[in-house]
Amino acid sequence: MSRLNMHRRSNNKPIRLGVIGAGRGMGFARGADEAVGMKLVALCDHWKPLLKHARTTFPGVTPYTDFDRFLEHDMDAVVLANYFHQHAPFAIKAMKAGLHVMSETSACKTLGEAAALADAVESTGRIYMLAENYCFFAFNQEMRRLYQAGEIGDLQMAECEYIHPDTIAARLARAPGFDHWRNWTPSTYYCTHALGPIMYITEARPVAVNARSVDYVPSETQFNAVRQGDPGSTILCRMDNGANVIVNGLSLRGHGNWYRLHGNRGLMENLRQGDRGMLRIVHDSFDQKPGEVGETIYRPEFPVHADRARKAGHGGGDFFTNWFFAEAIRQSKAPILNVYRAIDMTLVGIQAWKSVLDDGNTKPVPDFRLKRVRDQYRNENWSPFPEDAGPGQPPPSIAGIRTPSRHDLAEARQLWRARGHLEKPIARKR
């Protein structure tokens, strides 16, 4: 039976999984086991030292350095944990090869890619899921359950933030090479860890954005080093039900994740201080239902497989991404984090950056569920990444393109060489 006709595997057989990206992808690889009904069969990475290390962890798994050969392996699904801005072309090629796809963090880098990605999901009938693991923290899963049951009524306003500062050494290690995507990503682009859980909990859709970015202050010049993107931004999203959602990030001081939802019947949030896994629910006295109390604070548990989830990375999210992906494949049913929500989350970051560069003016978040809407954007390639540089393309910072000092660049390259990374300059159009 060909892959293209194999819409559903027997529930008694494990889903044969391949993972591209032997760095971040190792978390997904380790989670592909009998608990979720998966079996890891192949790994792919173009960086040979990283792939060699992965082979020692998974000695029975077939390694590949070529993506096209990897797709020929006998498997059912792939996880894309490759570079942030390179997912859509890989996803499209994998689905056309008959494979289900789970893509991490960002669905695409341009609106043109978003249109092609939606087309591919619809034409192939494959399962596509965004691996936005922050949705699956225990408190976010509990907030989804409560919200869908009407605990706080309809969403009116929400605040969410993903703040993740790093030392200069850690940042350079995460971004080996001057042209690495992490060094060129605008501050609004990495918004799914903040906005994703709000969309998961409420199923509300963003329809418009306004945004502002902040530049490094003079005392942080050395901390910035070779990075081009700004340290933080604020996005104001207008949702399709009229609610406002404030999205804050990214590498500012004060590491943490926080989600606060105001409904017309109450409030719920995870705590910002102390045990941040605790959930707080508030009902004002004048509209409490019988049996409700003014304030409840507790630590919710995972709905299933709690022991496994507690051992997984990213607050249990790394377990549940695999689990929900496998469930979607077994049931032949699109997951909550389907291609359209993946595109919505991603386009918020792209359109927000357009807003930043246009003095905060409103930009729409087009609905790519509609083919006639997709048709308007098929040729849009607006992108800040080095390989797309050229006339009309945006800078990754409100400061424009930065020129790192010779000292900073030399120190960075020394660290990269020590990690086995040899820079390959990208041919720029600028």
How far is Cα 66 from Cα 50, in angstroms, rounded to an integer?
Answer: 14
Contacts of 295 (CB under 8 A, 6+ apart): 280, 281, 282, 283
Whether the CB-CB separation of 191 and 345 falls below 8 Å is answered with: yes
Q: What is the pLDDT of residue 217?
A: 78
Q: What is the pLDDT of residue 417?
A: 87
Q: What is the pLDDT of residue 219?
A: 67
Backbone angles phi, psi at 249, to 5 degrees: -170, 170
The two tokens of residue 95 are 């689905």
Q: Provide the CA 340 distance to its chain's centre, in angstroms.
A: 14
Backbone angles phi, psi at 36, to 5 degrees: -110, 0
Whether the CB-CB separation of 255 and 244 falls below 8 Å is answered with: no
Of the candidates 127, 25, 136, 133, the residue with the CA atom closest to the CA atom of residue 77: 127
Cα dist. 370→95, 128, 350 in Å? Answer: 20, 17, 19
Q: What is the pLDDT of residue 51?
A: 86
Q: What is the pLDDT of residue 172?
A: 85
Residue 196's identity, in one-letter code, is: G
Whether the CB-CB separation of 334 and 127 falls below 8 Å is answered with: yes
For the chain, give every domain's residue range: 135-305+339-369
Q: What is the pLDDT of residue 430?
A: 45
Against a cut of 0.85, is the pTM above it? yes
Pseudo-torsion of CA 24, 27, 28, 29, nearest 10°? Answer: 100
In the block, which residue shows the tokens 């042209």? Answer: 179
CATH of 135-305+339-369 among 1.10.1510.10, 3.20.20.140, 3.30.360.10, 3.40.640.10: 3.30.360.10
In the block, which residue shows the tokens 């963003």? Answer: 206
Backbone angles phi, psi at 264, to 5 degrees: -80, 5
Digitized pLDDT (tens) for each residue of the chain, 430 residues in all: 334 333 444 567 999 999 999 889 999 999 999 999 999 999 999 888 888 888 889 988 999 999 999 999 999 999 999 999 999 999 999 999 999 999 998 999 999 999 999 999 999 999 999 999 999 999 999 999 999 999 999 999 999 999 999 888 888 888 888 999 999 999 999 999 999 999 999 999 999 999 999 998 766 655 466 889 999 999 999 999 999 999 999 999 999 999 999 999 999 999 999 999 999 999 999 989 998 999 999 999 999 999 999 988 899 999 999 999 999 999 999 999 999 999 999 999 999 999 999 999 999 999 999 999 999 999 999 999 999 999 999 999 999 998 888 888 888 888 888 877 766 655 555 4
In Å, the largest CA–CA distance within the chain is 68
Cα dist. 131→196, 314, 330, 393 in Å? Answer: 10, 12, 17, 28
